[in-house]
């Protein structure tokens, strides 16, 4: 018998999300293959998975120091949130209420609201306060089953405030039991001070901020908001080229409101992922599939902003894309970090199957953040990140529309959520 630190056993199902397969799941057949082990168990040693199989077999093969009885519940990989904006100083519930009463987003923006309001609030907030805010956010994220989180700056919009945002992220991530993938998003909006000097701001991003962020190793990715009203195709291309020169991987917010060519730019620039894509048409979808760019779809944002166009997820899957879903957690357009809700809307709004939605918040989301070999599946040799949900079948995750069924969370072999509460491990 081999020794294990922890055995999670007695699961109705262990959803491995096709463990052992390399890379993301592209297209319909792969995205519908979850690799389910019925009556399964997972053995963990040194923070890594050392065995997956039927509970009887795992019990016979491993002597466990500790056991976690899933008691007939379903076990899945820790969820991966591939797109969030958690570094903000205050919520924008006031704007939400105004929008509900009929004011338009544009009118609120013109009156100093939106991203620029977040930037103003962040400017006067000390780094320590941002760290405390992020620690609270990370607790919420973990309680919803997310063990890997992509996190963007982008409410700074000055060199100093962007560095402060990313430093706070690094500091908060140091002690939190989850994997944070930091993304520099200095090109989130044109700051008010540069309203008539677009080119000067783009140069500040490409020539000052990107080199400094890369030198301090504050980010893995660089993102840009490529959209009418934000940054043009040319500006976005310049920003992503500068990022590449300094060793940052590319992401693009593209085609949120219409087909502005953002998806094709993502393909041309060999970005790792392209996000939103509500307006992306057939040519853009073909380009994404050919270039192997991961489409990251954000259905909570579509609903929250009542966006007229939704991403054509079915066409993307059928074109052979490795579609991912993410929360877009942020104070303006998606104030939730609940990936089960995102998966539910992936099915009910975007037309994915339950299996595709689960793949989209695990294996394919891991590919979107460059961690295909480390997150998003339960496989021997990989970090042991998994969740136990209070249901017999994984279908409950997208079916129970926003109910948080996450009961236990194991991260790198430590139990960090137990019976729905944060646990010291
Ligand atoms: Zn976003």
Mean predicted confidence (pLDDT) in 12-29: 91
Distance 326 CA to ligand 1 centre (A): 9
Give 49's contacts (C-beta < 8 A, 6+ positions apart): 42, 43, 378, 379, 380, 381, 382, 383, 384
pLDDT tens string 332-342: 999 999 999 99
pLDDT of res. 307? 86
Q: Cβ-count burial of 253 within 10 angstroms (0-12 exposed, 13-18 middle, 19+ buried)?
A: buried
Distance 222 CA to ligand 1 centre (A): 12
Distance 388 CA to ligand 1 centre (A): 28
Tell me the HSE value of 92 on the side-chain side, using a 13 A CA sphere. 29
Distance 371 CA to ligand 1 centre (A): 19
Dig out the tokens for 223 from the structure: 């993102």
Confidence class for position 110, pLDDT limits 50, 70, 90: confident
pLDDT of 21 above 90? no
pLDDT tens string 374-389: 999 999 999 999 999 9
**133 Cα distance to chain centroid:** 18
Position with higher pLDDT, 108 vs 91: 91
Distance 39 CA to ligand 1 centre (A): 38
**165 contacts 136 by C-beta, under 8 angstroms:** no
**43 contacts 51 by C-beta, under 8 angstroms:** yes
Mean predicted confidence (pLDDT) in 12-41: 94
Distance 342 CA to ligand 1 centre (A): 14
Of 344, 362, 363, give the one whose Cα is nearest residue 354: 344
pLDDT tens string 23-32: 999 999 999 9
**H/E segment holding residue 174:** helix 159-175
Distance 253 CA to ligand 1 centre (A): 7
Dig out the tokens for 93 from the structure: 């519930």
Distance 309 CA to ligand 1 centre (A): 16
**141 Cα distance to chain centroid:** 11
pLDDT of 277 above 90? yes
pLDDT of 43 above 90? yes
Cα dihedral: 371, 374, 378, 381 (round 10): 160
pLDDT tens string 328-370: 999 999 999 999 999 999 999 999 999 999 999 999 999 999 9
pLDDT of 108 above 80? yes
Mean pLDDT of the chain: 96
* Of 71-80, 105-114, 277-286, the least confident: 105-114
pLDDT tens string 193-233: 998 999 999 999 999 999 999 999 999 999 999 988 899 99
Distance 113 CA to ligand 1 centre (A): 17
**123 contacts 158 by C-beta, under 8 angstroms:** yes
Give the rounded percent of residues in the chain with a pLDDT score beyond 70: 100
Dihedral sign of CA atoms 385, 40, 74, 419 in order: negative
pLDDT of res. 228? 85
pLDDT of res. 332? 93
Distance 55 CA to ligand 1 centre (A): 41
Distance 328 CA to ligand 1 centre (A): 5
φ, ψ at 214 (rounded to 5°): -65, -45
Mean predicted confidence (pLDDT) in 274-297: 96
**H/E segment holding residue 27:** helix 27-31
Query: Is the pTM for the entire model greater than 0.85?
Result: yes
pLDDT of res. 425? 59
Give, as residue ranges, everything with CB less than 5 Å from ion ligand 1: 328
Give 368's contacts (C-beta < 8 A, 6+ positions apart): 80, 82, 83, 150, 272, 273, 294, 296, 324, 326
Distance 423 CA to ligand 1 centre (A): 30
Position with higher pLDDT, 425 vs 353: 353
**384 contacts 177 by C-beta, under 8 angstroms:** no
DSSP-based three-state secondary structure for 425: coil
Mean predicted confidence (pLDDT) in 41-46: 98
**54 contacts 28 by C-beta, under 8 angstroms:** no
* DSSP line for 267-292: HHTT-SEEEE-TT--HHHHHHHHHHT
pLDDT tens string 2-11: 999 999 999 9
Give the rounded percent of residues in the chain with a pLDDT score beyond 90: 91
Distance 118 CA to ligand 1 centre (A): 14
């Amino acid at each position: 018998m081999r020794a294990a630190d922890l055995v999670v056993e007695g699961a109705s199902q262990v959803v491995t999300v096709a463990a052992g397969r390399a890379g993301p799941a592209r297209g319909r057949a792969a995205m519908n293959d979850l690799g389910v082990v019925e009556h399964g168990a997972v053995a963990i040693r040194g923070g890594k998975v050392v065995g997956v199989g039927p509970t009887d077999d795992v019990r016979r093969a491993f002597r466990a120091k500790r056991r976690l009885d899933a008691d007939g519940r379903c076990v899945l990989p820790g969820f991966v949130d591939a797109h969030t904006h958690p570094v903000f100083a205050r919520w924008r519930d006031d704007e939400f209420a105004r929008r509900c009463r009929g004011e338009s987003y544009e009118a609120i923006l013109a009156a100093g609201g939106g991203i620029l309001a977040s930037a103003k609030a962040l400017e006067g907030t000390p780094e320590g306060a941002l760290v405390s805010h992020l620690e609270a956010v990370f607790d919420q994220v973990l309680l919803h089953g997310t063990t890997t989180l992509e996190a963007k700056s982008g409410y700074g919009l000055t060199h100093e405030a962007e560095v402060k945002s990313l430093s706070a992220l690094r500091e908060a991530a140091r002690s939190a039991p989850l994997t944070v993938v930091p993304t520099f998003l200095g090109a989130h909006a044109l700051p008010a001070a540069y309203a008539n000097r677009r080119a000067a701001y783009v140069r500040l991003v490409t020539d000052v901020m990107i080199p400094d962020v890369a030198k301090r190793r504050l980010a893995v990715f660089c993102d840009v908001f490529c959209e009418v009203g934000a940054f043009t195709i040319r500006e976005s291309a310049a920003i992503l080229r500068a990022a590449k020169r300094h060793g940052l991987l590319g992401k693009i917010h593209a085609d949120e409101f219409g087909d502005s060519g953002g998806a094709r730019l993502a393909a041309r620039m060999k970005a790792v992922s392209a996000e939103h894509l509500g307006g992306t048409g057939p040519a853009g979808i073909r380009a994404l599939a050919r270039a192997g760019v991961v489409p990251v779809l954000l259905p909570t944002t579509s609903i929250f902003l009542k966006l007229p166009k939704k991403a054509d997820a079915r066409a993307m899957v059928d074109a052979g894309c490795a579609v991912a879903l993410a929360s877009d957690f942020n104070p303006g357009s998606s104030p939730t970090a609940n990936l089960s809700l995102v998966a539910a809307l992936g099915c009910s709004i975007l037309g994915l199957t339950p299996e595709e939605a689960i793949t989209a918040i695990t294996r394919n989301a891991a590919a979107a953040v460059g961690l295909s070999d480390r997150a998003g599946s339960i496989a021997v040799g990989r970090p042991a990140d998994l969740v136990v949900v209070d249901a017999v079948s994984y279908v409950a995750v997208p079916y129970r529309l926003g109910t948080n069924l996450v009961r236990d969370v194991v991260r790198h072999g430590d139990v960090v959520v137990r019976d729905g509460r944060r646990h010291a491990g």
